[in-house]
Amino acid sequence: MALDTLDFAVILVLTVAILAYIVKTNFFSEPKSTGFLSADALAGNNLLDVIKKNNKNAVIFYGSQTGTAEDYASKLSKELSARFGLKTMTVDFSDYDLTNFDSISEDTLCFFLMATYGEGEPTDNANEFCEWLENDADTLSTLKFTVFGLGNSTYELYNAVGKKLDQQFEEKGAERFADYGEGDDGKGTLDEDFLTWKDNLFESLKNNLNLEEHELTYEPGLRLEESDFLTLADDNVSHGEPDKTYITGSGDLSKGPFDHSHPYLSPIKYTKELFNSKDRSCVHLEFDLSGSNLRYSTGDHVAIWPSNSNENILTFAKAFGLEDKLDTVFELVALDLTISIPFPTPISYGAVLRHHLEITGPVSRQFLLSIAGFAPDASSKKEVARIGNDKKAFAEEITHKSLNIADALLVISDGKPWSSVPFEFIIESISHLQPRYYSISSSSLTEKTTINVTAVVEAEKVGSQLVTGVVTNLLKNIEIEQNKTGEKPVVTYDLSGPRGKFSKFKLPIHVRKSTFKLPTNPSTPVILVGPGTGVAPLRGFVRERVNQKQNGTSVGETVLFYGCRRSDEDFLYKDEWPQYAKTLGSSFEIHTAFSRETEKKVYVQHKILEQSSKINKLLESGAFIYVCGDASRMARDVQASFAKILSQERGISEEKAGDLLRSYKTQNRYQEDVW
Ligand code: FAD
C-alpha cells in the first residue's frame, strides 16, 4: 500500500513530536531534587543562568549516593566562602539543567566531589552528566576545575569515576587549578584523605590563583526562626514525614513513582529472627507491596528509610542543651537562593533529630575543628582544638573508642552541654540521614508483591560505649514488637512514626534497580557465592529457579557456596535449602563452610577450591558466577580462588586466569553485589 502526502505529513508530525518528547525527557531531563530549593532558584534552572543571577564564582558539584560526597561538598562550600571570600554554591547534578555547561565562564572555579558506586559506576545523580561528558561533550576550554574522588579500594575499579572525570576534563582542554585527590573508604581514611587534599587545594588557591586566606568563621546559609504560634498540633507542621506529600496527604500515596525523594510507606507483614544466638541477631522481614504500584525484579536493592533511636536522640539533645526544645516548631529561611532547605518545614527540633540527622555515626576531625568556636568554656575550647589538630590524639581518643558526635563533645567538655552551638550549624554540618540499601532476598517471579530483606543487626560494645546501627536496630525493634517475643532491645524506637503513620509496622522504602541479574536463559548454569547476609540475593535467585522448574522450564545447574560461623547458630535459611533441593533435584548443590567448627578456619573460598574440576567444567559450559556480601576481603579472596582454579585446570598462568575473569566481568558472566 502506497503512502500519500497526507500520510507522510502525519508521520512527520508524529515523529517530530516523539523526538521532542524523547529529547525533553531524556537529555538532562527535568531535575529531581531531594532538597527544597527556593522557587526563585529553580525558576529557569539552567545552571549557568543561576550562577550568573546569583553572582557565584565557585561551584562545588557532587556525585553522591550515600550522602558523603554531598556532606563534603557542603562543608567545602562553607569553608571556601569563609576562608577565601569565594561566592560559592553546591550543585547536585540532578537539580539543574546543564545543557550549555560547555560555555561555563572562566571566572567560575569548579570543584567536583565524585563518589564511585558499585562496579566503577557514577552515582545515580551524576550518571547523566558522566554519560554526556563521555559521549557528547565537545571542548571544555573555559572550564577551570579540580576533582576529588571518593572510593573504596576493596573494589577493583577504585575511584574509577573521579579518575575518569579528571582525565576527561583534561582531554577536553579544561584547566586544572589544583591537583586531583582521592579518598579511600576501604582503608577507613576517607576523612583524612579529604583533609589532605583540601590542604593542598588551599595552597593552590593561594599560590596559583593568588587568593587571600582568612581565619575560618561560621557563616550560616540558613536562618532558623522559631514560631510563636505554630505547634506540633498544626496540620502543616512536619513531624518528620518522609516528604511533603505525607504531610499534606495530597494525591494517592500508594501510587509512585517511588524513589529517593518519595518513598512508599510499606506494611511489614512478617518478621522472623534467623540466628540462634544470645548476642547476635539477623532479621528476616517481608514488605507487602500489594495495593501499591511499587515493583521490583529479582536481584534489585530495597532502600529502607531510617529514624534514630530514643536513646541516641536524648544523648544528642543533652549534648547540645536541646532537651526542652524538642517540641518547639521552627521555619528555615535560605539566606541565598541557591541553598536548599534540606527537609520540609515548619518542623520541630525533635523531628529533625529523629528523622533527618545522622547523629550516631563516627565524628570527623574536621567537625571538631569547625565546632571549636562554640565550645561551652575555655578549657573545652582548648581540648577540642587539641584533639582536632592532632591526628594521633583524634584516632586514640575519639575514633578507636567509636564515639559519636554527642558522646565525643560531652567527653571533651566534661559533661557540659554545648548550648551555644546554633541549630543552623548543626543542620549544615551534620550529615543528613540516608536510606540504607538491602539486597532483596525474594524472587519477583515467586512473590511479585513481597520484598524480603535479610539484615544482620549491628550492635557492639566498644569499651563502655554501645555502638549501634540505625536501621538494623529499628528492624530488630519491629521484629520484637511484631512477634511479642518479650526480648529487651539494645536501643528503642518510636515505631508509630510521624502522626502515627508508621503504626501497625510500616516503614518508608523505595527500590533501586540493580545490574545483579540471573542469565536470561534459565538453562545456563550458575555458581553462587554468598557467605553471611551475602546469601540474601542468592536466595532470591534460587527461589526464582525453583519457580521456573515448577513451571516446566528447563533450569541449569545451581551450585551455591555458603559460609557462616556455626551450623547451629547463624546458618541462614537452613531449613529452606533442602526444600529447594527437592524441586531442583541433582541440579542443585550447596557447599557450606562453618568457620568456627573446625580448628583451622574454613571459608567459602576454600570450599570453592575443593570443587575445582566441577567449577571448571561448569565455566566451560558457560556458567555465570555471582558473588555477594563483604567487599573488604571475601570478594577478593573468592576471585583469587576462581583464578587459581582456571590456572590449574587449564594449565595457564594465574595472570592469564585473572585476565580471563576480568573478561567474564565485562561480559556480565562474573557479577558482584558487595558492600
Ligand atoms: P549504620 O547506622 O549505617 O552504621 C554502620 C556501622 O557503623 C554499624 O556497624 C554501626 O554499629 C557502626 N557505627 C555506628 N556509630 C559508630 C561510631 N560512632 N563509630 C564507629 N562505628 C559506628 N546488609 C545486610 O545486613 N543485608 C543485606 O542484604 C545488605 N545488602 C546491601 C546491599 C547494598 C547494595 C549495600 C550498599 C549495603 C547492603 N547492606 C546489607 C548493608 C546495609 O546497607 C547497612 O549498611 C547495614 O545494615 C548497617 O546499617 P545500619 O543503619 O544498621 O548501620
Report which protein residue has its CA nearest ligand 1's atom 4: 469
Q: Distance between CA 255 and CA 71 in Å, rounded?
A: 31
Grid cell locating 306:
531510617
SS3 content of the chain, % helix, strand, coil (to 5): 40, 20, 40
> Would residue 147 count as lying in a domain?
yes
pLDDT at 7: 52
Question: How many domains is the chain built from?
Answer: 5
Residue 506's SS3 state is: strand
Is the CB of residue 285 below 6 angstroms from any atom belonging to ligand 1?
Answer: no
Is 610 inside any structural domain?
yes
Q: How far is CA 244 from CA 34, 236, 237, 238, 342, in A?
A: 11, 9, 10, 8, 12
User: Annotated active-site positions, please?
Assistant: 439, 628, 673, 675
Beta carbon of 443 within 6 Å of any ligand 1 atom: no
User: 404: Cβ below 6 Å to ligand 1?
Assistant: yes
Question: Which ligand 1 atom minimizes the distance to the CA of 306?
Answer: 51
Query: Ligand 1 atom closest to Cα of 460?
Result: 11
Residue 301 Cβ contacting ligand 1 at under 6 Å: yes
Closest residue by Cα to atom 30, ligand 1, is 438
Task: Give the number of other Cβ atoms within 10 Å of residue 250's Cβ.
Answer: 9
Q: Which of 161, 75, 168 is nearest to 126 (CA)?
A: 161
Whether residue 340 is contained in a domain is answered as yes
DSSP 487: P
For residues 385 and 133, give the distance between their C-alpha atoms in angstroms, rounded to a whole number. Answer: 42
Question: Domain check: are 549 and 651 in the same one?
Answer: yes
675 is in an annotated binding site: yes
Whole-number percent of the chain with pLDDT over 90: 88
For residue 671, give the DSSP letter. E
Say if residue 111 is in the same domain as residue 156.
yes
Distance from Cα 441 to the centre of ligand 1, integer Å? 17
Atom of ligand 1 nearest to the CA of 118: 34
87, 145: one domain: yes
Nearest-5° angle of CA 656, CA 660, CA 665?
A: 145
Are residues 190 and 302 both part of a single domain? Answer: no
Instruction: With CA atoms as reference, report the closest residue to 79 among 366, 341, 485, 403.
Output: 366
Decide if 321 is inside a domain: yes
| Ligand 1 centroid, distance to 396 Cα (angstroms) | 23
The residue type found at 135 is N
Same domain, 289 and 349: no
Say how many Å lie between the CA of residue 439 and the centre of ligand 1: 13
**347 domain residue, yes or no:** yes
Q: What whole-number percentage of the chain has pLDDT above 70?
A: 93
- Given this model, what pLDDT does residue 36 score? 54
C-alpha neighbours within 13 Å on the C-beta side of residue 341: 19
Among the candidates 429, 454, 488, a domain finishes at 429
| Cβ–Cβ < 8 Å for 101, 133 | no
Pocket of ligand 1, candidates 400, 458, 460: which has the most ligand atoms within 8 Å of its Cβ, to mutate? Answer: 458
Residue-level pLDDT at 249 = 85
675 lines ligand 1 (CB under 6 A): yes
For residues 345 and 243, the answer to whether their CB atoms sit within 8 Å is no
Test site for ligand 1: of 283, 438, 632, most ligand atoms within 8 A of the Cβ: 438
Residues 302 and 355 in one domain: no
The enclosing domain of 291 has a CATH number of 2.40.30.10
At 244-291, the pLDDT tens digits run 999 998 889 999 999 999 999 999 999 999 999 999 999 999 999 999
Q: State in Å: Cα 68 to ligand 1 middle.
A: 14
Q: Which residues of 651-664 are buried (b: 16+ CB within 10 A; e: fewer)?
A: eeeeeebbebbeeb
Low-confidence ranges of the chain (pLDDT < 70): 1-44
Take atom 24 of ligand 1 and give the residue whose Cα is closest.
455
Encode 522-588 in three state secondary structure. Answer: CCCCEEEECCHHHHHHHHHHHHHHHHHHHCCCCCCCEEEEEEECCCCCCCCCCCHHHHHHHHHHHHE
Q: Which of 397, 467, 535, 570 has most ligand 1 atoms within 8 Å of its beta carbon, as the pocket-test mutant? A: 467
Separation of 171 CA from ligand 1 center, angstroms?
A: 38
Which CATH number belongs to the domain containing residue 373 in this structure?
1.20.990.10
Specify if 590 maps to a domain.
yes
Nearest atom, ligand 1, residue 474 CA = 52
Q: Which three cell numbers stand for residue 28?
A: 538532562
CB neighbour list of residue 511: distance below 8 Å, 6 or more residues apart = 258, 294, 295, 296, 300, 301, 302, 303, 440, 451
Amino acid at residue number 658: G
What pLDDT score does 244 carry?
95
Of 187, 207, 198, residue with least CA distance to 77: 198
439 and 415, same domain (yes or no) = no
Asked if residue 344 has a cis previous peptide bond (ω within 30° of 0), the answer is no
pLDDT at 118: 78
> What CATH number should be reported for the domain holding residue 633?
3.40.50.80
Gap from CA of 359 to ligand 1 centroid (Å): 14
For residue 643 and ligand 1, the question of a CB distance below 6 A is answered with no
Q: Is 310 helix (H, G, I), strand (E, B) or coil?
A: helix
Q: How many CB atoms sit inside 10 A of residue 104's CB?
A: 20
> The C-alpha cell of 652 is what?
595457564
250 is a domain residue: no
The three grid cell numbers given for residue 121, joined into one nine-digit string:
559506576
CA-to-CA distance for 494 and 190, rounded, in angstroms? 33
Cell of 561: 557456596
* Nearest in space to 491 (alpha carbons), one of 511, 515, 514, 469: 469
> Does 647 share its domain with 530?
yes
E strand or H helix at 288: strand 282-288
- Domain end position, chosen among 401, 429, 457: 429
Residues 150, 148: Cα–Cα separation, whole Å:
7
At what angle are helices 405-412 and 378-389 packed, to 10 degrees?
Answer: 120
Establish whether residue 307 lines the binding site of ligand 1, counting it when its CB lies within 6 angstroms of any ligand atom: no
- Please indicate, yes or no, whether residues 328 and 468 belong to a single structural domain of this protein: no
Question: How far is ligand 1, taken at its centre, from the CA of residue 2, in Å?
Answer: 64
- Work out the burial of residue 568: count CB atoms within 10 Å of its CB; fewer than 13 is exposed, 13-18 middle, 19 or more buried: exposed
Q: Which residues form the domain of 10?
A: 1-30
Whether residue 20 is found in the same domain as residue 41:
no
Of 512, 542, 561, which marks where a domain is finished? Answer: 512
Separation between Cα atoms, residue 154 and residue 184, nearest integer Å: 9
Query: Known binder of ligand: residue 601?
Result: yes
226 and 197 share a domain? no
Residues 608/593, Cβ–Cβ less than 8 Å: no
Q: Is the CB of 361 under 6 A from ligand 1?
A: yes
Q: Is 434 in the pocket of ligand 1 (CB under 6 A)?
A: no
- Distance between CA atoms of residues 462 and 405, nearest Å: 15
Does residue 520 sit within a domain?
no
ipTM of the modeled complex: 0.99
- pLDDT (0 to 100) of residue 44: 63
pLDDT for res 13:
47
**Dist CA 310 CA 496 (whole Å):** 13
- Which pLDDT score is estimated for 155? 84
Burial of 204 (0-12, 13-18, 19+ CB in 10 A): middle
Per-residue b/e over 230-239, b at no fewer than 16 CB within 10 Å?
A: bebeeeebbb
- Return the residue matching grid coordinates 582544638: 385
User: Residue 155, annotated ligand binder?
Assistant: yes
Ligand 1 atom closest to residue 399's alpha carbon, by position in its atom list: 19
What is the Cβ-side half-sphere exposure of residue 373, based on CA atoms within 13 angstroms? 9
Q: What is the pLDDT of residue 32?
A: 42
Q: Is the CB of 123 under 6 A from ligand 1?
A: no
What CATH number should be reported for the domain holding residue 175?
A: 3.40.50.360
Per-residue pLDDT tens over the stretch 287-306: 999 999 999 999 999 999 99
Question: Based on the domain organization, do 405 and 295 belong to the same domain?
Answer: no
